[in-house]
Structure 1
Amino acid sequence: MKILLIGGSGNIGRAIAAELDGRHEIIAAGRQHGDVRVDIEDEASIIAMYQRLPELDAVAVATGGRNGHLAPVAEMSAARYRVGLESKLLGQVNVVLHGLNHVRDGGSFTLVGGVSDAQSIAPQFSNVYMANAALDAFVTAAAVELPRGLRINLVAPQLLDESVEAYGAWFRGMPTTPAASVARAYSLSIEGMQNGQVYRLGR
């Protein structure tokens, strides 16, 4: 398969490439690294990226852009909430919408989410949780009506083992998961037959 991997230089992206390497052709895309350049926060950039690519069998997103503005709720504003909504949420939604005509019949989209349930709440992350929950809903709803047998799934890890040093202070006591396990969930989504699934890891 020809698989577009957006965000191939991060912890999850590198693990996905290692998991799929040798079985499929990986086309890496990123803001600063990869075979093609794309900024998922810029809709025009997404459109231009697809125009430069061949017909694809799968699209995997392993980046949430800027993710979201971290701050206590009392310090948030509509503009700050838009950081996560326009980046992690709408950036990935636009990857799907503009990719519909560039993915072969029966192909797939795999998006990246994260924690969104009450048992995993961390302070200052309301923007991120909101975007993650919206991604859950989008994937569940979109799966019902994608054309031509296309599939869509969401991989939603909690804290990565590889990210504990950077983010562990916010998630004391919560389970972590290795990037390699996250990559295997992408493999299941891309190489399997499931549709509309949210693969939650680290519980």
Structure 2
Amino acid sequence: MKILVIGGNGTIGKKVSSHFKKDNEVLIAGRTSGDVTLDLADSNSIRKMFEKTGKLDAIICIAGEAKWAYFDELTEDDYYIGLKSKLMGQVNLVRIGKEFLNPKGSITLTTGILADEPVAQTTSAAMVNGGIHSFVKAVVLEMENNLRINAVSSDMVEDAYEKYKDVFPGHNPVPMDKVINAYVKSVKGKVNGQIISVSA
């Protein structure tokens, strides 16, 4: 399979990319480095990226920004960071990327635990994650060419535990192999229109 991993150099992306590289052709996309680059908040940049990759069998997105701050501190522009990057960025990956997928190809988006179990300072991020969940459930009804779409929603991962443990009190870190398997399930399995939840 020819697989594109957007955010393939990130904390989760590195592990997911390494796993798929064992028996697939994997292209890494990032903001400033990788086989191809893109600005996730810019649909023109997304299209240019796909024009460089050519046809694909699977698209995995493990990228997207959202502003973390207390609700009283968030401005309207702060919300637009997440709306333009993580939400519309992933929507545009589907909207444009489906043109570059081979029949029976798949798209895997990434959200997180905040859609269902938000913590303080995540009003924007939780809203964006929930929006992606609803988008996946709706857009699957209209996908053509036997294309599949799912989202992986993980709790805090082991590799980010030290950085975020104070933000997620009481959350058990998820082993990276369980997170990797969620992406494998989406790409290699037959599930469609699903929010694949991963917890410890």
Same fold (TM over 0.5): yes
TM-score, structure 1 length as denominator? 0.94
- Gapped regions of structure 2 (runs ≥ 5): none
| 1:178 shift after superposition | 2.4
- Gapped regions of structure 1 (runs ≥ 5): none
Q: Which residue of 1 aligns with 2:18?
A: 18
Counterpart CA distance in 2 for 1:30 and 1:53 is 13
Q: Which residue of 1 aligns with 2:49?
A: 49
Counterpart CA distance in 1 for 2:11 and 2:151 is 17
Alignment pair present for 1:187 and 2:184: yes
Identity percentage over the alignment?
35
Q: Which amino acid aligns with 2:2?
A: K
Q: Which has the higher contact order (CA 8 A, sep 6+)?
A: 1
Counterpart CA distance in 2 for 1:180 and 1:34 is 23
RMSD, aligned CA: 1.2
Indicate the SS of the match to 2:144.
coil
Alignment equivalent of 1:139, drawn from 96, 117, 136: 136
Q: Which amino acid aligns with 2:51?
A: Q
The alignment covers a number of residue pairs equal to: 200
Q: Which residue of 2 aligns with 1:98?
A: 96
Indicate the SS of the match to 2:106.
strand
Kindly report structure 1 stretches of 4+ aligned residues shifted beyond 3 Å.
Answer: none
Alignment pair present for 1:175 and 2:172: yes
| 1:175 shift after superposition | 2.2
Q: Which amino acid aligns with 1:183?
A: I
Alignment pair present for 1:158 and 2:155: yes
TM-score, structure 2 length as denominator? 0.96
